[in-house]
Chains A and B, each alone.
Chain A
Amino acid sequence: MKNLLEIQNAHVYIGSFYILQGISLVVPKGEVTLLLGRNGSGKTTTMKSILGIYPPKEGKIVFKGEEISNLPTHKIVNKGMGYVPDTRRIFGTLTVEQNLVVSMRKGSSREDMQKRLDLIFDLFPDMKGFLKQRAGTLSGGQQQMLAVARALMNENDLLLIDEPTEGLSPLLAKNLIDSLDRLKEFATILLVEQNFRTVSKLGDNYYIFDNGKIVHEGTNMSELIDDKALVAQYLGVSI
């Protein structure tokens, strides 16, 4: 099985709004797939429909060869997905450690937890220092580390990461991208990133969204960067 995840012609509504108008994409195992596109083009909605938060009205989503389109969210993620949402959504009243504890699936053992923590501290050594701190008091960069760490508390096959560098300084953003680069060896990644240049070395495949449709796809990030017309049409800053 080459593709870990497949979306086949998904039509997604939020309430009565028709948001994703028949999208199809594949996420090959072991690779990083990028979702690009302007604000409001449907990237976050795509992630949420994979997660079953907005299940598709029509079309199929297949994960590890199994259709998941009609399962409840917790059953979907328990098949091996970790989610890092766009606005971090860490639990501010809990400590960092408690945030990690509630992210671990039922039935995980102490050894499991230690193993996961070792990996997390390896990626983000700073986290050791603020493990006991209330998450609501963390800086933006620390919160983002926590949001990623939460998704690493279980042995996941697929990580859904939505705009991880948003609101971070260029240096912090670069560090985070480096960490994600190292994550590639542990999991397949589906990544949304506005600033596609910062992740160009990371991405193996990309899809460009516009108005709820996929308008372009490819496998060569440097070709994309050089394609000025395409960039201006779909990824340029619109004023």
Chain B
Amino acid sequence: MTMQTKRFSPRDYLEENPQVRKLLRITVVIALIIIGGLLVLAAIDVYTWNGFVVRASKSLVNGLALSMLLFLMVSGFFLIFGLCDVINFAHGAFFMLGGFMGFVIYLGTEAVFLDPALPFYLIFGANQFALSVTAFIVSALGAAAVLALIGGGIEFFTIRRLYGNPIAQILLTVGFMFVITQIVEIIWGPSQFSYFIISNSQITYFFISGLLDFGGGLQFAVYRIFLIFLGLAVAGLMFIGFRKTRIGLLVQAGIEDSEMVEALGTDIRKLFTIVFMLGAGLAGLSGAVLVPWIGANSGHGLTYLIFAFVIVVVGGAHYGRLEGTFFGALIVGLSIQFTSYFIPFLENIIVFIIMAIILIVRPGGLTGHE
């Protein structure tokens, strides 16, 4: 006779007892609701009911705005990773540089139209709104274009030689992160300095600067609401582009099997360059349109690179799912804003706490496999 030394395993036990598992699941859900309720009650107690409503709605609006822009930024990161298998450590730096490009191009455009020596002087006359809208559009598209060129250039001249060599790629993109950050700091100084459009503008007017006031302290910056819709619109365009255009379909197919795409006759290297341009362009665009809100700052490179990683892992996007980045961005954006209003001392670490919890509960992320 042999000794049965079967160790007790909670996982096996739950596997064999579906009723217990069901009960456990219900208990966990109830416990979460109770904890959430208690947190809400505590918040109401601390901030009063009115204060709670104000903070909660501001967190929601800011959180959604941040999420949408994070989604655009991370989509670029995701595309480059998905199609080219390159983890682009310079992506945060692309975003940060996009912010500075947006800032500079905005003020530059403004200056061009305000310079009496130039022929554009009379176009807008005293119409500051039209001038500001124009400067904003030029700055957003301009930043996207500059970053697309930089991203495409980096792919074409360096990364292209290193496909299939992940270590070299990591070193290379980390190198570009440092180079871009260093150049920005030489020109604009270290991360203690943030650059905002309004305080540097000649006309000190920005086309959306107002507050939407519902009384009782319930105010929302209109620009952030605008960002939600802008983010949704760009995301929608991207989505349609993926489904309906040949190149979008080729990118999707290439994410699955790039060698097969090439064996069917597509120049995959060209597609890689295009996707690098697109990915870097998205980073530049999101950086530029966030500048009126968060300012341009050389420290954003590292911060947003970390956000990108957390979003991809939390969303399960590393399994090739774009929806994953969307959910990941929502969770990261909302949790950052809610903690900043309710538990400020957690603001800088909340994303890591959430990442840890989600990875423990679902190791594959929200949309990934177990």
Which residues of A approach B to under 8 Å, CB–CB? 51, 53, 72-74, 77-78, 83, 85, 89, 91-94, 98-99, 101-103, 105-106, 150, 154
Q: Please name all residues of chain B whose beta carbon is closer than 8 Å to the beta carbon of A78 when the two chains form the complex.
A: 265
Instruction: Give the distance in Å from the alpha carbon of A150 to the alpha carbon of B264 in the complex.
Output: 8
Residue tally, chain B, CB below 8 Å to A: 20
Docked-complex contact B257 and A53, CB < 8 angstroms: no
Docked-complex contact A94 and B266, CB < 8 angstroms: no
Residue from A73, A92, A154 in contact with B262 in the complex, judged by beta carbons closer than 8 Å: A73
Q: Please name all residues of chain A whose beta carbon is closer than 8 Å to the beta carbon of B255 when the two chains form the complex.
A: 93
Given A74-B268, A77-B265, A53 and B259 contact (CB-CB distance below 8 Å): yes
Q: Whose C-beta in chain A lies nearest to the C-beta of B271?
A: A74
- Within B222-259, the residues touching A (CB, 8 Å) are 246, 249-250, 252-253, 255-257, 259
Instruction: Count A-B pairs with CB separation below 8 Å.
Output: 55
B353 at the A/B interface (Cβ < 8 Å)?
A: no
Main SS at interface, chain A: loop
Q: Please name all residues of chain A whose beta carbon is closer than 8 Å to the beta carbon of B259 when the two chains form the complex.
A: 53
Q: Please name all residues of chain B whose beta carbon is closer than 8 Å to the beta carbon of A93 when the two chains form the complex.
A: 252, 255-256, 320
Docked-complex contact A103 and B256, CB < 8 angstroms: no
6 A-B contacts (beta carbon < 8 Å): A73-B263, A91-B253, A93-B255, A93-B320, A99-B253, A102-B246
Instruction: Across the A-B interface, give the 6 residue pairs with the lowest CB-CB distance, nearest first.
Output: A91-B253, A89-B260, A77-B265, A74-B267, A103-B264, A83-B263
Docked-complex contact B263 and A77, CB < 8 angstroms: yes
Instruction: Give the distance in Å from the alpha carbon of A154 to the alpha carbon of B255 in the complex.
Output: 23
B358 at the A/B interface (Cβ < 8 Å)?
A: no
Instruction: Give the distance in Å from the alpha carbon of A89 to the alpha carbon of B262 in the complex.
Output: 12
Nearest CB of B to A81, in Å = 9
B261 at the A/B interface (Cβ < 8 Å)?
A: yes
Nearest CB of A to B55, in Å = 41
Instruction: Give the distance in Å from the alpha carbon of A168 to the alpha carbon of B260 in the complex.
Output: 22
Residue from A51, A99, A101 in contact with B263 in the complex, judged by beta carbons closer than 8 Å: A51
- Within B260-289, the residues touching A (CB, 8 Å) are 260-269
Instruction: Give the distance in Å from the alpha carbon of A77 to the alpha carbon of B268 in the complex.
Output: 13
Q: Please name all residues of chain A whose beta carbon is closer than 8 Å to the beta carbon of B269 when the two chains form the complex.
A: 72
Residue from B252, B257, B266 in contact with A74 in the complex, judged by beta carbons closer than 8 Å: B266
Instruction: Give the distance in Å from the alpha carbon of A154 to the alpha carbon of B261 in the complex.
Output: 14
Nearest CB of A to B255, in Å = 8
Docked-complex contact B264 and A98, CB < 8 angstroms: no
Known: A91-B252, A103-B265. 7 other contacts (CB 8 A): A51-B263, A72-B269, A73-B262, A83-B263, A91-B253, A91-B256, A106-B265
Residue from B257, B262, B265 in contact with A91 in the complex, judged by beta carbons closer than 8 Å: B257
Q: Whose C-beta in chain A lies nearest to the C-beta of B269?
A: A72
Nearest CB of A to B259, in Å = 7
Q: Whose C-beta in chain B lies nearest to the C-beta of A150?
A: B264
Q: Please name all residues of chain A whose beta carbon is closer than 8 Å to the beta carbon of B262 when the two chains form the complex.
A: 72-74
Given A91-B252, A93-B252, A102 and B261 contact (CB-CB distance below 8 Å): yes
Instruction: Give the distance in Å from the alpha carbon of A93 to the alpha carbon of B252 in the complex.
Output: 8
Instruction: Give the distance in Å from the alpha carbon of A99 to the alpha carbon of B264 in the complex.
Output: 11
Docked-complex contact B263 and A85, CB < 8 angstroms: yes
Nearest CB of A to B267, in Å = 5
Q: Please name all residues of chain B whose beta carbon is closer than 8 Å to the beta carbon of A101 when the two chains form the complex.
A: 246, 249
Instruction: Give the distance in Å from the alpha carbon of A230 to the alpha carbon of B282 in the complex.
Output: 61
Docked-complex contact B265 and A98, CB < 8 angstroms: no
Instruction: Give the distance in Å from the alpha carbon of A74 to the alpha carbon of B47 in the complex.
Output: 64
Nearest CB of A to B92, in Å = 28
Q: Please name all residues of chain B whose beta carbon is closer than 8 Å to the beta carbon of A106 when the two chains form the complex.
A: 265-266
Q: Whose C-beta in chain A lies nearest to the C-beta of B261?
A: A102
Instruction: Give the distance in Å from the alpha carbon of A155 to the alpha carbon of B263 in the complex.
Output: 15
Given A89-B257, A93-B256, A102 and B267 contact (CB-CB distance below 8 Å): no
Instruction: Give the distance in Å from the alpha carbon of A85 to the alpha carbon of B246 in the complex.
Output: 22
Instruction: Give the distance in Å from the alpha carbon of A90 to the alpha carbon of B263 in the complex.
Output: 12
Q: Which residue of B257, B261, B262, B265 has the most chain A CB atoms within 10 A of its CB atom?
A: B265
Docked-complex contact A94 and B252, CB < 8 angstroms: yes
Instruction: Give the distance in Å from the alpha carbon of A87 to the alpha carbon of B209 in the complex.
Output: 58
Q: Please name all residues of chain B whose beta carbon is closer than 8 Å to the beta carbon of A94 when the two chains form the complex.
A: 249, 252-253
Instruction: Give the distance in Å from the alpha carbon of A48 to the alpha carbon of B20 in the complex.
Output: 54
Q: Please name all residues of chain B whose beta carbon is closer than 8 Å to the beta carbon of A150 when the two chains form the complex.
A: 264
Instruction: Give the distance in Å from the alpha carbon of A228 to the alpha carbon of B270 in the complex.
Output: 51
